[in-house]
Amino acid sequence: MPTPTPLISAEQIRTRVGELAAALAQRIPDGEPLHLVGVLKGGFMFLADLVRALPRPATVDFARLASYGSGTTSSGAVQLVTAPHPVRGRHVVIVEDIVDTGLTLERLRQHLLADQPQSLTTVALLSKPGRASEVPIELVGFTLEDDRFVVGYGLDLDQQHRQLPYIGVLDPS
């Protein structure tokens, strides 16, 4: 299996996750807990680091959505495979690994909003360029300059490379 070429180092990720955690905490009134909803599977590592960097109490839940089959292009339709627990009255934070078309995020947002949270904020570690949808994303870690498929730090290609501590690209073979 080829080793991905590093694009964003573990150190860059660590620094940016700290900044995102601080920015996130500032958005929610003091003394009120945050409720993080991580998007599986790709968001597990980001959420684990983000919650440890948060200077505030937080609860954690997960949702699982599916749109990508095997490979690197979206199928378009997004299915909520595992729904998160009810969030009514909470300060909810969606923790996404990467936003490409925004369809996954939009599906989860609509599901959560229907439950009337106190507030809903999205933090995405990565954002791809040229997104057609207008889905709001309050905090973004890194915006990728071109539309390359990235792996590592939770992100996979056919379930491989999630364990890497950095984000990288696979060279075209």
Contacts to ligand IMP by CB under 6 A: 39, 42, 67-68, 74, 96-105, 149-151, 155
Type of residue at 139: L
How far does CA 1 lie from the centroid of its chain?
Answer: 26
**Which letter does DSSP use for residue 2 in this model?**
P
Query: Closest separation between CB of residue 118 and ligand IMP, Å?
Result: 25
Region of 82 please: left (phi>0), alpha (psi -120 to 50) or beta. beta
Query: Closest separation between CB of residue 134 and ligand IMP, Å?
Result: 13
Catalytic residue among 49, 97, 100, 146: 100
Nearer to ligand IMP, 24 or 135 (CB): 135
Nearer to ligand IMP, 39 or 50 (CB): 39
Query: Closest separation between CB of residue 110 and ligand IMP, Å?
Result: 13
Query: Closest separation between CB of residue 31 and ligand IMP, Å?
Result: 32
**Which letter does DSSP use for residue 148 in this model?**
-
Nearer to ligand IMP, 17 or 103 (CB): 103
Whether the bond between 41 and the residue before it is cis, its omega within 30 degrees of 0, is yes
Nearer to ligand IMP, 30 or 146 (CB): 146
Active site residue 100: yes
Q: Where are the beta strands (DSSP E) in the chain?
A: 5-8, 34-40, 58-68, 74-82, 91-99, 119-127, 139-143, 150-151, 167-169
Residues with catalytic roles: 100
